[in-house]
A and B are shown apart, each in its own frame.
Chain A
Amino acid sequence: MNIRLITSFGFSVLRLSTPLIFAALSAAVCQKAGLFNMAAESMMLWGALIGVIVSGATHSALIGFLAAVLAGAVTGVLIWVATVKGKADLMLAQIAINLASSGGTIFLLFALTGEKSNSAVAIKSLALPKIAIPGLKSVPVIGPILSGHNILTYGAIVAAILLSIFIRRTKTGLHIRAVGENPHAAESVGISVPRIYLLAWTLSGILGGIGGAFMSMGYLTSFTKDMVAGRGYIGLSASSMVGGSPIGAMFCALIFGVADAVSNQLQLTNAPADLVLMLPYIVTIVVLVVISVINYNRANRKAKA
């Protein structure tokens, strides 16, 4: 394999991992609060669509991005309203929202543009900028892999670090973990559990919304039907594997990014396309099984000791 192939593979791993990292962080916030977030999928989908529409309408990538973030947050808050205020079952509410979002995004696109599957022709949307890192850019191999990504790729890494500090070191982060571990204990010292849930869902929605913005304003520059394609669930798996640790979730998401990139490369060969497309999901299952076997053994050893 020549150098160019390696660097382009490395570059695509980072690019493909970006939405997975945001999805994983979105799930991680919820997991720390003891909530199971299956709806990152919806948060991203709305983020992707609203980002395209608003950036197209305002001719500002920044405003489009902010609108995408807001759309994600609103999706999160909606789940909170349904489950905490409306006492709906968490799983059912999220399944409902996922189904409604898949149809709802298309409906909105159709209502605005008359298109049913792709916004590319109808909306001239903008992309978020790519950033070349001076200095790093010219380092051989590493430079071309790490430099020149969409701003949100770097944003994903920064978000993971910030989220990690937030969860571990701030008062609110501590309260989120307390609620996640034992809501009664948290309540008994005056922490409001519903408020923490609201915060977790909002943050989760924001992260999902950013992930969505990357999909339609970075990865691609248009919205297509169901473009999130299960990335929300892969993020959820990544977060579950590491117990909701943001940094761990980021690395897990990178592993899935590698699988995604391999699958992309193989599509260029004449390997059976359907099988190749399954690869990232198969990797998810395999890694999940391996991790739970490891955890099970560790728990067993601990119980014996």
Chain B
Amino acid sequence: MEALKMENITKIYPNGFVANKGITFSVQQGEIHALVGENGAGKTTLMKVLFGMEQPQEGAIYVNEKKVKISSPLEAIELGVGMVHQHFMLLPSMTVAQNVTLGMEPRKNGLVDTQKAVQITQEMSDKYRFGLDATARVGDLSVGLMQKVEILKALIRGAKVLILDEPTAVLTPQETRELFEQLKLLRTEGHSVIFISHKLEEVMELCDNVTVLRHGYCNGTHPISELDAAGISRLMVGRDVVLKIEKEDPKPGKPILEVRNLTRTNAEGKKTLNDVSFTIHEGEVLGIAGVEGNGQSDLSDSISGMVSYDSGTVKLNGKDLKGMKIVDIRSAGMSVIPEDRMTVGCVNDLSVQDNAIADRFDKKENMNGIFLDKKKAKSITDALIKEFEISCDSQDEAIRFLSGGNIQKVVVAREFTSGANFVVANQPTRGVDVGTAEMIRKYLVRQTREKGIGSLLISADLNEILEVSDRLLVMRQGRIVAAFPKANVVDVDELGEYMLGIRTMTAQEMEGVL
């Protein structure tokens, strides 16, 4: 029987972005159904529609073959749809039983019947072999067990369809194997599971069917038995419209940035960078491709001095950056277009002018004694607004009133005119309009070619990474797993296989390209 069907779902966000375009997808009772797609393909959006967190512009949802309207998560839960979010919704100071029964606590004599709550939680946990102690404090549990608490929360509310959003991203291999066993047990009990993942080997091992999303479209539902990992990867990764950027071949000069054996362990104890080494020369763009969350952000933050690392060296223009203050790193020749422009790239409430000159207002030539030279500040900003075609009512307007594209232009304008000879561009065109994206890409290429600066481009946009980069590296699980000398001739299907873990290059194959 069809446990669930989503028919012709179209979701347009208020900013006009079409995240789901006519997607139809159905899940049988007692199956584990994979939902795969690149970052930004629209998986989360589709699941938010299913869970009542977003309303679609078009389309219908059927649960047990009955048409339903789901306008809030509570209604979804009523209908037997449960979701385990990537970020857990738990109360660390309370016990497992309290978390699981929250909002539906058993009562006796007007007080919460703690014993009963523990009993039903424990029974449920034992039934599905979750191995939880119902009286343990959630804050003391491992991440893997916290996830079990979340699943239990959904099950105890009667979920028949369980949505798991990248559940293995936070798990150790051992925990992953356990989770799979438990999900299979749920399947035999007649539950359906929607499993969102990037890891194809997991999809192959666990799931019955796979639905592939690409750029908001549905690229079909296929039985796993008819596909291999490479087949799924080809369905997932692809360029619908091939963008071309005209540029001559690079003439790399002397090395600017040298990264050697960079290793970092994050606060959760996970190795996010594992022995990463590469060099970037004058006049070239080095691209880093990869599924998001494979260490790219930590790489950019380690290089730009935002976070510290365990071991290894980062040298810029021959200077070791370890332990240096960010101001000093910047004056050593670094500029950064950060991934998150709203929190790191600019100060929302400050004016366009303040943001545009944030890195140079304290330079001697821009000061008038101890005061800021207002005239100078205005003329610098005017020049940037003109050159980068930033549209704003006035340069005194708070930057948050600008569109995403224009905010990014301010950041890009500042970073490209800071006088640095190296730039880290982390997802520089994410969420900006097509015109601005094209301008930023061309600017990046022009700066490298004409001014001879070195650039590191990190991007999840395949078009961008293949066309803008000269050399291309692929990152996976904190390591460099592939290196290509010429990015614009790389085959997309092959790239996908490296990104998704189907293939890995040996050190010999990568030699000379790093």
Contacts and interface: CB of A to CB of B under 8 A. Distances in A.
Contacts of B105: 171, 174
A184 B110 contact: no
**Chain A: number of interface residues, binned into ranges:** 10 to 19
B112 A170 contact: yes
Contacts of A140: none
A181 B91 contact: yes
Given A174-B112, A188-B89, A189-B157, 18 more contacts: A169-B112, A170-B110, A170-B112, A171-B105, A171-B107, A171-B112, A174-B102, A174-B105, A178-B102, A181-B93, A182-B91, A185-B89, A186-B103, A188-B73, A189-B153, A190-B74, A191-B102, A191-B103
Given A189-B102, A190-B74, A191-B102, A181 B110 contact: no
Given A169-B111, A182-B89, A191-B103, A174 B153 contact: no
A178 B111 contact: no
Interface in A170-215: 170-171, 174-175, 177-178, 181-182, 184-186, 188-191
B431 interface: no
Interface string A5-21: 00000000000000000
Contacts of A178: 91, 94, 102
The 3 lowest CB-CB distance pairs between A and B, nearest first, are: A189-B103, A185-B89, A169-B111
Interface SS of chain A: helix
A249 B272 CA distance: 43
B141 interface: no
Interface string B52-84: 000000000000000000000110010000000
A171 B98 CA distance: 10
Nearest to A185: B89
Interface SS of chain B: loop
A181 B112 contact: no
B293 interface: no
Interface in A215-264: none
**Chain B: number of interface residues, binned into ranges:** 20 to 34
B111 A170 contact: yes
Contacts of A170: 110-112
B460 to A, nearest CB: 27
Contacts of B98: 174
Contacts of A175: 102-103
Contact of B102 (A165, A169, A186): A186
A191 B98 CA distance: 14
A240 to B, nearest CB: 16
B139 to A, nearest CB: 10
A171 B157 CA distance: 17
Interface string A57-80: 000000000000000000000000
Interface centre among B74, B77, B91, B94 (most CB of A within 10 A): B91
A165 B104 CA distance: 19
Nearest to B102: A189
Interface in B105-131: 105, 107, 110-112, 114
B251 to A, nearest CB: 50
Contacts of B90: 182, 185
Contacts of B153: 189
B92 interface: yes
Contacts of A171: 105, 107, 112
Interface centre among B102, B107, B153, B157 (most CB of A within 10 A): B102
9 contacts: A170-B110, A170-B112, A171-B112, A174-B94, A174-B98, A174-B112, A185-B102, A186-B102, A190-B103
Contacts of A191: 102-103
Contacts of B103: 175, 186, 189-191
Contacts of A188: 73, 89
A70 B73 CA distance: 37
A11 B434 CA distance: 77
Interface centre among B105, B110, B111 (most CB of A within 10 A): B111
Contacts of B157: 189
A85 to B, nearest CB: 21
Contacts of A177: 91, 93-94
Contacts of A174: 94, 98, 102, 105, 112
B114 to A, nearest CB: 8
A180 to B, nearest CB: 9
